[in-house]
A and B are shown apart, each in its own frame.
Chain A
């Protein structure tokens, strides 16, 4: 690729790299720089002029109780969602690696919600929570279905968790299956010859060996939990009384409903920091547990 003529090299770089760099800079880098800049202004999104107001937005942000409600909701949501989806996903993958009848049907059924967008899935479940659950409650008298689903802070939280897990469990399952399939049978057999029961094999052989997949799944499920928006919009809309408003929706409302672009930009910076710090810590913690074979 590197030619002796300098002119030709510049020409090659232009053809191969030019379009990519142009798009990367305009779409990925420029917004980041602009966003950081806006976070120090009082821009409202409409007028062409604005003032630099220092760190005022960052102070306002933490004084606003709604920001805290949203941060608390998001962090609790991330923790519960990440733990549940990884435990269930791993367990499901573990079961589906056994010799079972109809494995392809099973895998496809668990995966299928994942191909549909969160917005539509949220609306489907809105119907189930609001229309079907009351009818089931009436017919069976089971209290679980008679709860005011999506109507209280707790049911909005758990309702979102249920739908989110229903949507993404298949995704985690596929990655865990790939991880489990890569583990050689020899290790399992050696362990069982040595007298290990299946729980011991799972705990001391299998889990350490699939640690790279676990690292990966934890990282991705954390990132996706932070990014929740579509489902949040369609299922609860952040209600009741903005108690289930995840951070993306909070940024959206600040910027596009209240027209406080500067404040929204400051919240975006906080959002990036939260994601980067938490995923970084998490990856470092789990990476240490990985073993080399």
Chain B
């Protein structure tokens, strides 16, 4: 963007940045090496490489966070919450942006205004709403709440992308005898694909990593998410780092793999989501 030739300054900057990037990754080094150590090894020297691959830690960690179960719960919440808003929000956005009456405009304004109210500020009444509608302590219930919370941003993004969908295509679909419902799902929805992907990526990180909402609404032991399971590990006064470290490693592994595989799409999505918001 700025200069075409590499100068000495650029080379030094390059080295500095690589150094900085390595510093950024060091915390993960500590998580990995200490996952394979005994408690004695950790307290003696936690920067050193492990003496051997001590795998008992992982066995204990898998059990203490009930990995299979909490991973499954987290996955279920993430997948179904995403499916939920994908079914509900784009249809609503389509109606709002095509039927441009006063009611739709008011609804859109209300939805956008609600975006600036964080969950933190409504968590108390959310418990009441959750109890009233039987959404508490169950995975499907939490999914319903996430879908509701995801609506404003999704509608906002979908309305933005619908501006670029030409109405002529829809009109010719009507003439060919498609119902509005068919036209939407067969013609319009596929054209909104890139926005749907962007919002899905952003929401995936939110649903996967969220802690406050499950902490309040999922107190049932069998519905624990990964975040809740990790939180329980720190309930005792003495931290068993030799179990905590492999547990942390197991907890971050799925989402880090997701990032590495989808890296390009994720970075594009984050940038697109931010510029439009």
Contact = CB atoms under 8 A, between A and B. Distances in A.
Interaction A to B: yes
Interface of A: 1-2, 12-13, 15-17, 19-21, 23-24, 26-32, 34-35, 38, 45, 95-102, 105-113, 115-120, 123-125, 127-128, 131-132, 135-136, 166, 171, 174-175, 177-181, 183, 185, 188, 198, 201, 212-213, 216-217, 220, 223, 226-227, 229-230, 233-234, 248, 251-252, 255-256, 261, 264-265, 268-269, 271-272, 275-276, 279
A233 B1 CA distance: 42
Nearest to A228: B120
Interface of B: 1-4, 6, 10, 13-14, 17-18, 20-22, 24-25, 27-28, 30-31, 34, 42-43, 45-47, 87-89, 91-92, 94-96, 98-99, 107, 110-111, 114, 116-118, 120-129, 133, 144-145, 147-149, 151-152, 155, 170, 180-181, 184, 205, 208-212, 216, 227, 230-231, 234, 241, 244-245, 248, 251-252, 255-256, 258-260, 263, 266-267, 270-272, 274-275, 277
B44 to A, nearest CB: 9
B124 A117 contact: no
A106 B27 contact: no
Contact of A97 (B1, B34, B114, B208): B1
Given A2-B99, A256-B216, A32 B46 contact: no
Given A99-B4, A127-B245, A178-B274, 10 more contacts: A23-B148, A28-B114, A31-B128, A34-B129, A96-B17, A115-B256, A132-B47, A175-B270, A230-B209, A265-B124
Contacts of A248: 120, 212
Interface residue SS majority, chain A: helix
B230 A115 contact: no
B10 A98 contact: yes
Closest 6 CB pairs of A and B: A27-B148, A117-B209, A20-B92, A178-B271, A34-B125, A16-B95
A123 B230 contact: yes
B211 A118 contact: yes
17 contacts: A1-B98, A20-B89, A20-B92, A23-B151, A35-B121, A96-B17, A98-B1, A108-B260, A110-B21, A113-B27, A115-B266, A127-B244, A131-B42, A131-B43, A227-B118, A230-B211, A255-B123
A99 B7 CA distance: 10
